[in-house]
Structures are given as C-alpha cells and as structure tokens.
Amino acid sequence: MIVCIAEKPSVAKDIARIIGANASHEGYMEGNGYQVTWTFGHLCTLKEPHDYTPMWKTWALSRLPMIPPRFGIKLIPNNPTYEKQFKVIENLMQHADSIINCGDAGQEGELIQRWVMQKANAHCPVQRLWISSMTDEAIREGFKNLKDQSDYQSLYEAGLSRAIGDWLLGMNATRLYTLRYGQNRQILSIGRVQTPTLALIVNRYWEITNFKPEPYWVLSTVYREVTFTAVKGKYKSDEEGQKDLQQIMGKPFTVTDIATKKGTEAPPRLYDLTSLQVECNKKYGFSADQTLQTIQSLYEKKYTTYPRVDTTYLSDDIYPKCDGILKGLQDYASLTQPLLGKPLPKSKKVFDSSKVTDHHAIIPTGVHPQGLSFAEEKVYDEVCRHFISVFYPDCVFSTTTVMGKVEEVAFKTSGKQILIPGWREVIKPVKAEEKDGEEKEEEQVLPAFTKGEQGPHEPRLAEKWTSPPKPYTEATLLRAMETAGRLVEDESLREALKENGIGRPSTRAAIIETLFKRQYIRKERKSLMPTQTGIELVGLIHEDLLKSAELTGIWEKKLREIEQHKYEAKQFLEELKQMVTEIVNTVMADTSNRRVTSQPVAATAAVKKKRVSKPKDKTAEKKTTPSPDAIVGTVCPVCGKGHVIKGKTAYGCSEWRNGCTFRKPF
C-alpha cells in the first residue's frame, strides 16, 4: 500500500480524487492501491526546554545558555484533534510499503512532513510530489514525475537549521532579557527575525522624533498656466530668494530651449509574494497576512500557482504553456485577444531558468474562477494583469523639457506624454500612487511652446520646510525586510539584495502579525508605530547581532546556501551556538547599565505577563503598576553613550552638554 500525506484535508481530497482513492475513512481516503491522509500544517514542533531536563523548567540566569546536546521533536501538546489525526497517520505509515510526501513544495512544507514521518517512525521508501499548482493536470504530471526524497535533503536541512536557530536564539535571549530587565513581571520576547524587524520600526520612530525641520525657499513662476521652477533649486535663506524674486518682477519670461526625448518603459516584473503584498497594501490596504492568506486560498482553489516564492521569473519550460493559460483567462478576453494566434514574445526579463530554484513567479493557471470573495477578486486581478502585461510591447513615451529665463534667472519644467501605451493598456497607472507614504503628483501635460517666445508670468517665492522620513507602512516595511533595511526602488537592484533579506517571503507577514500580537507595534491609519514597550525593549538591547537587519540578512543568506549545498548546516548551527553563548556572557558581565535594571520595561495592558519564579511572600504577589518614568536610565537611543534622564518638561540625554539632541516630551 502506498501512503500519500498532504498538508491539508482539502489538498488530500483533490489528490485522492485524481489517483482514484475514493473510499472515505476516519482521517484518510483509500482506493486504487493508495491511502491518502493529511496533517493540519504543523503537527510536530521542537521540544521545549523542560522536555530536555527538569532544570530548564525554572527560568534562571544561572542555567543559561540552554543548548541541548541533540534536538528532538514532539507532537504539539493539548490538541485532541492533532493527537487523533497523528494516530491515524502513524498506523498507516507503520504498515505502508512506500510513502509519497505531498506537502507544500517549499522549505516549510518539507520540514512539516519530515517531522511527522520521523515521529511516526516511518522506515519505508519515501518519494516527493513536487508541483507548482493544484490543477488536475499539474497533479497528474507530478505523480508521473515523482522524485526521491533524498533530492530534497538540503531543503530539509535548511528548514531544520532555521527552526533550531530560532529556538536557540528565541529561548535563550527571551529568558535572558526577561530575567535581567523584566523584573519577573513581563516576558520580553526576542526573536531572530522579529527583533531586527522591530528595531527597523523603532529606529525610524527616533529618526522622526528627533528630526529638526529646517526652512528653505523655492522660487517658481507660472507662464501660460505651466509652473516653472528656478534651476538654482532650494534657497537657503529668504533674503537670497527675495533678491532673485525682485530681479524678475515685471520682466518678461522667455522660452530659451525645448528638448523632446523619446523613451521606453518595460512591463513590470511578475509577482513574487513580497511584491504582491506590497502592491495590495498600497492599492487596497490589505495587510501582508491578509494578502498571503488570500493568495494561498487562490492557489488551493487551483486559480493561481504556488505563492510562497521569492522570484519574479518563470522557468523556460513554462513558455510553451503560456498560450493555453492566456486562452483560459476568459474574463480578460479583450486584453488577451491581441496576443493569441501568433508567437508570444520571450523576454529574458521574464523567462530565465537560472533565476528559478524551487518555484517560479506567481501566475494564473488558466482555470476559470468562480465565487471569489472581494479580496480574492482583487488579488487574482493583480496576478492576471501582470501575467498578461509581460507579453505586451513596451510603453513608448516622450519627455519634453522646457527651459526659460527671466533676466539672469533660469527656470525649468518638464512633462511626459504617452505615445504608445503598450502594456499600460493592461495595467492602468494609479493617479495618486503611494511612494513611501506620500502621494506622487501626476506628470503635467505641456502645451506647445516655441523657442524664443515671451510673455508675462506670475512669480512667487514659497517657504517650505524639510520633512522627516515617513513612518513605515506594511508595504515599505516588507521592502525593507526584503533588502535588509535598505529601501530600494530599482527592481533589478532589489532583486540582487533579496539574497540578504531578513525572514522569508512566507514568514514576513507572520513576523509583523507577531509584533502586533505582542503589542510591540501599533497601527496609525497605514503607518506602523512602535509602542512604548517596543521602544524600550529595543533600547535595552546592546548586541548588534540581535537587532541588526543586515546581520540577520547574512544568516538568511547562509540558510539559502545550505539549500544550495554551498554551506554546511552543522557549521551554521555551531556558529549560532557560539553566538548565543557570547550574548549570554556579554549581558551577564555587563555592569555598565546597572541603572537600567532598576526599572522594568513599561508594560502595556494587553502584553502577556508571566511569573518566572515563585514569589516568596504575599507582598510579592501584589500587582504593581509600572512607573511612567520607566524610560529613565535606559541607554540614549540617539548617541548610545549617555542615559535617559528626566527634566522639567521632557526626557533628555545625560550627554546633552556634549551635543546629544535626544528629547522626548512627557
């Protein structure tokens, strides 16, 4: 008997229908020589500290670091549904002739199923079903081309290394900081990806808080209802601007030069998960997690391909299938009609097998969708339009730059005109597109100018102020996580930086949700802001290894190299063990911030509280309200040298005499 194990009941039912296992039983289906069963995502997890030794049940600094000699797994406890289903799986696998792993074709899917098979003590041969979509055709093709499980050993090792690394850092650093700074009242959660992500948000908060706006002046003039701006740019003083303003008042405006240049704009890249989450957050306000759940649903309904991907390319073997996919997009017939009946263009920006590892970019399958929710309609539309657009020609436009002059003061304006829409027939530009939280003005359309023409104009000198950086939105935070904290607009450069991104496309949404759940961050409209707890937690952490997005990105790169057989999992784990030991020793030996320990991190009402040692008397059991001055004594977030002190009207830095600008009003 061949046992197939899928990751969800719905997926198992589709597989069972196609391979002829139509008889239903408790927890599995059977027929045609197959038994098809399922998990519910994770059924197993790494053992907790107390599972290794009773000594680790009690939280104590003297018992850190906790490094098990060998890591083990266990069934997720206190879940009768999981326990019941696992017994079914275990019984089937004990009597199986062979097993087919039908889990999601990715690192997490590989880890989930391998742990279940290990826990069930399965010893028969195992094959792997590896598919990128859930269409009937893809499943049949996958069963004809089953792989040996050993082909995916490095993928499993990378997933296991990631899980162990998160355990080592999370368990040890959380206990360390909770015991050192939480004052037995609050768990201070530290995570390998979570904490650097929080640090990005907190650092941006301090950049905004400590930003000192500076005035500048802009000289412009309106000629023939078109605004021209002085070529000099920003004036540093009102006097400097007024001098030029007085010089041009009442004098005629002269057009000195007109230059028109044609340009082309290629279609946008296909979607990977992060770019899809970014676009849906900008256009529809969907959270990263909402977009992930929606595209996962579309995948399971067979309408789109595997979503948890970090590439924007298609492999060359997909090209012959594209014509059929386009024909299946019935709701987009007006857009696909010009493409059908002739060879589709094959661009290296779209089809490049060298840029595809496990899965290609997200595209539609060509299966006609029915009964979609509002969110599914929007996400599906994004995927379809991007797929269609890559086969359209480039957009051709002309940029006209007009130079003018009044006396000795030069002015300039420019406008853009679409000559051939090309792919813009498929993807319409958003009128007020968000760019890092601010609206982008539309390009102005220029009238016909003639070189040498003159006329009256309306000059003005406007006072403006420099602006602080914008708070992160989920869209810009996802981009920052993808490029290790560096916001990059250029698509090709962003592709190159992905290798050092923090987190994985499939986990970044969950990281953001975790920060919300632990009340380290909150949302103000679209902006992500740190809570006081989040601010103070990051302020306590001195070790760059724990909060540096760039360093975390390096760890992520090593995990990818484990997948690619370029790096040893054993070496990665040894480095992590050494790092955890060094962090514990550093914090324990640090006597320079003794004052910090005198005040606990301020707790928010909904933050989970847990006692880490039994109180000795009843007075210790009384709940105390954290002091509003808990920030006092923490290391200055601006200079890193002084400590936060309380003044008459605001908090400041003890190094204020030496030029530190940190100031926070009460």
Domain membership flag for residue 377: yes
* CATH number reported for the structural domain that contains residue 476 in this entry: 1.10.460.10
pLDDT at residue 450 is higher than 90: yes
Cis bond leading into 65, ω under 30°?
yes
pLDDT at residue 597 is higher than 50: no
The pTM score is 0.79
What mean pLDDT is predicted for residues 605-612?
A: 36
Domain membership flag for residue 166: no
Strand partners, 226: 223
Q: Give the pLDDT score at 637.
A: 61
Residue that is last in its domain, among 389, 415, 434: 389
User: At a CB cut-off of 8 Å and minimum separation 6, what does 580 contact?
Assistant: 65, 67, 168, 169, 172, 173
User: How far is 267 from 422, CA to CA, in rounded Å?
Assistant: 9
* Cα 627 to the center of its chain, rounded Å: 35
CA atoms within 13 Å, Cβ hemisphere of 131:
28
For the chain, give the mean pLDDT.
Answer: 86
Amino acid at 579: M
Q: Give the pLDDT score at 665.
A: 65
CB count, 10 Å around CB of 625? 7
**611: containing domain:** 180-209+472-567+576-618
- 109, 28: one domain: yes
Domain membership flag for residue 312: yes
Q: Classify burial at 626, counting beta carbons within 10 Å of its beta carbon; exposed 0-12, middle 13-18, buried 19 or more.
A: middle
Q: Give the pLDDT score at 638.
A: 63
Tell me the two tokens of residue 72: 């083990």
Q: Give the pLDDT score at 438.
A: 37
Torsion of CA 87, 154, 583, 512, to 10 degrees: -70
Domain membership flag for residue 203: yes
- 497, 606: one domain: yes
Give tens-digit pLDDT for 506-564: 889 999 999 999 999 999 989 999 999 999 999 988 888 888 887 788 888 888 899 88
Tell which wins on pLDDT, 635 or 592: 635
- 412, 351: one domain: no
Tell me the two tokens of residue 129: 């079903």
Residue that is last in its domain, among 99, 129, 145: 145
- 530, 454: one domain: no
Phi, psi torsion values for 463, nearest 5 degrees: -85, 130
Domain membership flag for residue 627: no
Tell me the two tokens of residue 153: 């050993």
Weakest-pLDDT range from 29-33, 455-459, 549-553: 549-553
* CATH number reported for the structural domain that contains residue 104 in this entry: 3.40.50.140
pLDDT at residue 107 is higher than 90: no
Tell me the two tokens of residue 458: 């309306």
Weakest-pLDDT range from 41-45, 448-452, 545-549: 545-549
Q: At 441, is the pLDDT very low, low, confident or very high (cuts 50, 70, 90)?
A: very low
User: How far is 191 from 197, CA to CA, in rounded Å?
Assistant: 9
Residue that is last in its domain, among 389, 405, 430: 389
Q: Give the pLDDT score at 83.
A: 95
Give tens-digit pLDDT for 351-373: 999 888 778 999 999 999 999 99
pLDDT at residue 439 is higher than 70: no
What mean pLDDT is predicted for residues 333-340?
A: 95
- 114, 247: one domain: no
- 292, 232: one domain: no
- 251, 309: one domain: no
Q: Give the pLDDT score at 108.
A: 86
Give tens-digit pLDDT for 377-398: 999 999 999 999 999 999 999 9
- 444, 558: one domain: no
- 377, 399: one domain: no
Tell which wins on pLDDT, 490 or 163: 163
Q: Give the pLDDT score at 619.
A: 33
Max avg pLDDT among 435-449, 453-467, 574-588: 453-467
Domain membership flag for residue 35: yes
Give the 3-state secondary structure of residue 314.
strand
pLDDT at residue 39 is higher than 70: yes
Domains contained in the chain, number: 4
Give tens-digit pLDDT for 283-315: 999 999 999 999 999 999 999 999 999 899 999
Q: Give the pLDDT score at 659.
A: 66
What mean pLDDT is predicted for residues 134-158?
A: 94
End-to-end CA distance of the chain, in Å? 70
What mean pLDDT is predicted for residues 58-81?
A: 94
pLDDT at residue 432 is higher than 50: no
Q: At 613, is the pLDDT very low, low, confident or very high (cuts 50, 70, 90)?
A: very low
- 114, 185: one domain: no
Q: Give the pLDDT score at 36.
A: 97
Amino acid at 477: L
Phi, psi torsion values for 136, nearest 5 degrees: -55, -40
Q: Give the pLDDT score at 651.
A: 75
Question: Residues of the chain with pLDDT > 70: what percent?
Answer: 85
Residues labelled as active-site residues: 306
- 422, 376: one domain: no
Domain membership flag for residue 160: no
Q: Give the pLDDT score at 657.
A: 66
User: Going along 224-370, which residue ranges are E strands?
Assistant: 226-235, 253-265
- 485, 609: one domain: yes
